[in-house]
Chain A
Amino acid sequence: MDTTDTTPIIPKPVKQKRFASFRKSLTDFFASLYNINSFIIRFFKEAFLPPYEFKEIIRQCYETGVRSFTLISLTGFIVGLIFTKQSRPSLAEFGATSWLPSLVSIAIMRALAPLVTALIAAGKVGSSIGAELGSMRVTEQIDAMEVSGTNPFKFLVCTRVLATTLTIPILATYTGLISILGGFLNVYVNEGTSYRTYIGQVFDPLSFIDFTAALIKSIVFGFTIGIVGCYQGYNSSSGTEGVGKAANGAVVTAMFLIFIEEITIVQITSWFR
């Protein structure tokens, strides 16, 4: 055999390699965008068609609520307390500490309550959904469901997405109230303001649009957490590594989208003010 091949090996130019890799990333990005889109469309097609999985939706609502309840209570209270404490010196400079309840309520109801709830739920609930469905996928439990005549998408995905969409607004409302309570503790300790006066001042500056925007935001955040967690878990690849990636992807993607949605909704709301 002639082994004296004299053809010189010409390395691919670096620019060409970079372009190929960029093109692959771009193709992958659009492919996953298409897949997510199909997943969302499938959700809307299947979620509202009978048979309805009421029992499982209620069970998932309970799971979602209970999983996050303690952490949300603690975080909500601390957020309210710290926010009030940190805002006090700035307002005190202008002798405007009496505006603290209004400031707290506006910040909490308009932004902090839905956002903090969503971020905590993305970490607790989203990762748990991603890991649970991912593990079910790699151990063929989803296939087992399918071959036993059950629609796994309807049973596993639709119920979880509906549960997060319904539960996150309730949790966000609870976070808002508990944060306001945290703010009250600080105001009461420093100014001795009564609870009745504080509550009056808290709800005074809030308008219908504030509550509506907060509610819409929480619904959108809840849907995002559910759909991203389910998408990552349901489509996870084989092996334990896939389960880890699904859980991680569920949190990171959901958080990223929540921030984008927050900016978008705030912008849209500002046009109506």
Chain B
Amino acid sequence: MEKQKAPIDHKNAVIRVHGLKKAFGDYEVLRGINLELYQGENLVVLGRSGTGKSVLIKVISGLLQADAGTVEVLGQNIDQLTTRELQALRIRIGFSFQNSALYDSMTVRKNLEFPLVRNRRGIGRKEIDTSVERVLEAVGLAQTINQMPSELSGGQRKRIGIARTLILNPEIMLYDEPTAGLDPITCIEINELINEVQERYKTSSIIITHDLTCAKQTGDRIAMLLDGKFQREGSFEHVFDTDNARIKPFFDYNFIK
């Protein structure tokens, strides 16, 4: 399924990353990343495992600190924020984790309520229930409300993970390998959900993946991460219209010739 063209405001960047560097010990994972995510856009970051894709969005969300460079999210430089300011900014960012990161000890309902109760002090029971039902319907899993995370399938867990981030109506969504470990049909369902979220919640998203189907279906723009830098950027066709010996095989192995 081809992706519909989303209305993107190219004058308004919600995330600006400049000269971002991050190393773990002697291994330099990110070596000067420059990135701009525009309002309403789905940007897919492609790359092999271990190239620092997840590190990039963890730095953007403030979970990891950059060694050098600047990261500006919704007009705020995250390095200069106090803990409280960073906490307030994070409410405007949704982060969908690779393994969903659902709270094991809580039911689906409690998982979804948690961010709401924590961030909207004094919120009423009725409003909580309405919000929970709304996001569960948005991800098509209303029947799982009283189930424990251990009772859900991989695809359901991903959906609930996305629903948990949607409950706070984020302006930016960060997806870490949304289709990893899922069967092809569930992958397509998740890709459709990502597009639905973009359309319905007017979010701007960064999608980290090495799944080309996901990239093609969800991305308005693709950025190829290699050796700690973006080597190619543009539409899906443009990125793979190259003879680069390290980019070409990535395409060939994903779409078996």
Contact = CB atoms under 8 A, between A and B. Distances in A.
A51 interface: yes
Given A135-B104, A140-B101, A141-B103, A149 B115 contact: yes
A139 B99 contact: yes
A51 B121 contact: yes
Of all A-B residue pairs in the complex, the 4 with the closest CB atoms, nearest first, are: A144-B101, A148-B115, A140-B101, A147-B95
Given A149-B115, A151-B83, A144 B88 contact: no
9 contacts: A136-B103, A143-B63, A143-B97, A147-B62, A147-B93, A147-B95, A148-B90, A148-B95, A148-B165
Interface in B73-111: 83, 87-88, 90-91, 93, 95, 97-99, 101-104
Nearest to A53: B118
Interface centre among A135, A141, A144 (most CB of B within 10 A): A144
A59 to B, nearest CB: 11
A149 B101 contact: no
Nearest to B63: A143
A212 interface: no
B121 A148 contact: no
A149 B61 CA distance: 11
Interface in B190-229: none
Nearest to B64: A143
Contacts of A87: none
A150 B118 contact: yes
A149 B118 contact: yes
A149 B91 contact: yes
A237 to B, nearest CB: 13
Nearest to B98: A140
Contacts of A135: 104
A144 to B, nearest CB: 4
Contacts of A140: 97-99, 101
A204 interface: no
B168 A148 contact: yes
B53 interface: no
Given A51-B121, A148-B164, A139 B104 contact: yes
Nearest to A142: B101
B104 A148 contact: no
B61 A141 contact: no
B83 A147 contact: no
Contacts of A149: 87-88, 90-91, 115, 118-119, 168
B151 to A, nearest CB: 16
Given A148-B119, A149-B88, 19 more contacts: A139-B99, A140-B97, A140-B98, A143-B97, A144-B97, A144-B102, A144-B164, A145-B103, A146-B90, A147-B93, A147-B95, A148-B90, A149-B87, A149-B90, A149-B91, A149-B118, A149-B168, A150-B114, A150-B115
A144 B83 contact: no
A140 to B, nearest CB: 4
Interface in A89-141: 135-136, 139-141
B247 to A, nearest CB: 30
A190 to B, nearest CB: 49
Contacts of A143: 58, 63, 95, 97, 101
Contacts of B87: 149-151
A241 B137 CA distance: 38
B115 A139 contact: no
Interface in A141-171: 141, 143-151, 155
Contacts of B58: 143
Contacts of A144: 95, 97, 101-103, 164
A141 B121 CA distance: 22
A141 B104 contact: yes
Contacts of B101: 139-141, 143-144
Nearest to B105: A132
A53 to B, nearest CB: 10
Contacts of A146: 63, 90
Nearest to A55: B117
A147 B118 contact: no
B91 to A, nearest CB: 4
A146 B161 CA distance: 14
A143 B64 CA distance: 10
B118 A148 contact: yes
A135 B121 CA distance: 28
Nearest to A146: B63
Interface centre among B61, B93, B95 (most CB of A within 10 A): B95
A155 B87 CA distance: 14
Nearest to A132: B105
A143 B87 CA distance: 12
Contacts of A155: 118
A108 B88 CA distance: 51
Contacts of A145: 103
A139 B164 CA distance: 16
